[in-house]
Amino acid sequence: MNKDRINMLIAEITKNITWEKAFNSLEDKLLTKSLDSLVEHVNFKERELDKPAVDIFNLQEHVDDAFDLELFELVEKLPVWQNEYLEASKIFSEALDKIKENASETCKAIKTYKDEFDNELRLYTSTSDNINFNTLYARVCLSDKRLEAIVKALKVNKIEIQEEYNLLCEDLLILSRFAVRKYDRHNAKMDELRKQLKKQEKEKYKKIFHYKDLVKLAIKQGFEWVRTSGDHLIYRNKNQDIAIIPAHVSMKYGTMMSVQKMIFTN
């Protein structure tokens, strides 16, 4: 404690200030400075959490609407949201570290205020008479409880948006599993559709292995003979589409299917 403060306290004592008034003055200064420090910490916390809060709520809105998206749009956006969540989580974690550091510094400042209060009160009681120490002790205990409540408010046990981050993390995991299941079901449906189309394709074409039967089929579909090239018969329809039929008595399955595709596709 500096000399000016000591001289001021001695001057107050000589003015016959009662110990109750002196205590009230010291306590008021202690609690006022402590509350001011608490308010500064709260403002600091709000500033640090502003961006993480905005990021998390914006991202949550996207995720809430995600179940109505089409599969491929969901698959496209999900990795983007996951990256945004990781980035927001990083910023949130950095903000928490800063808040904890600021809370620690604020606690140290309040402890300094308390030490000043104790020293000044000790100086006063050592040079003053007519002090009711039972009452003084009760007042000190009450003051300590008030100060303890202020310090308790500084503890970073629970940040309001922490729960929002946890819920969003769970939502993204659920959404990922949902997208995987939806994608698997889509692939299963596409596989089944391909099988059906393949089956229909096979059923569409008749098992005709003699070239004369294929000729009859081509004529029935509107094709007319144009010319013969070697052992291949060239047919054309009114749209100028060509169908080439090998003049084989017994042609292979693949060849037969190719000829019929030319006839029916055209």
pLDDT in tens, 186-228: 777 777 777 776 766 665 666 777 888 888 888 988 889 998 8
The tens digit of pLDDT for each residue in 114-172 reads: 999 998 888 877 777 777 888 888 988 998 898 888 888 777 555 667 778 888 888 88
Residue 228 near residue 234 (C-beta atoms within 8 A): yes
Single out the residue of 89, 84, 102, 88 nearest to residue 46, CA to CA.
102
- Which fold is adopted by the domain 206-265? Metal Transport, Frataxin; Chain A (3.30.920)
Model's pTM, two decimal places?
Answer: 0.58
pLDDT value of residue 43: 92
pLDDT value of residue 205: 60
Dist CA 137 CA 220 (whole Å): 116
Single out the residue of 228, 21, 7 nearest to residue 136, CA to CA.
21
SS3 262: helix
237-246: average pLDDT: 88
Single out the residue of 108, 120, 138 nearest to residue 26, CA to CA.
120
Token pair 């006839």 in the structure block, residue: 263
Dist CA 90 CA 46 (whole Å): 17
pLDDT at 109 exceeding the cut of 90: yes
SS3 142: helix
Residue 194 near residue 240 (C-beta atoms within 8 A): no
The tens digit of pLDDT for each residue in 2-11 reads: 655 655 555 5
Query: Could you give the C-alpha distances from 101 to 63, 154, 249, 252, in angstroms and in order?
Result: 33, 11, 92, 82
pLDDT value of residue 33: 93
Token pair 């608490």 in the structure block, residue: 38
What are the residue ranges of CATH 3.30.920.30 in the chain?
206-265
Dist CA 185 CA 70 (whole Å): 13
Dist CA 53 CA 88 (whole Å): 9
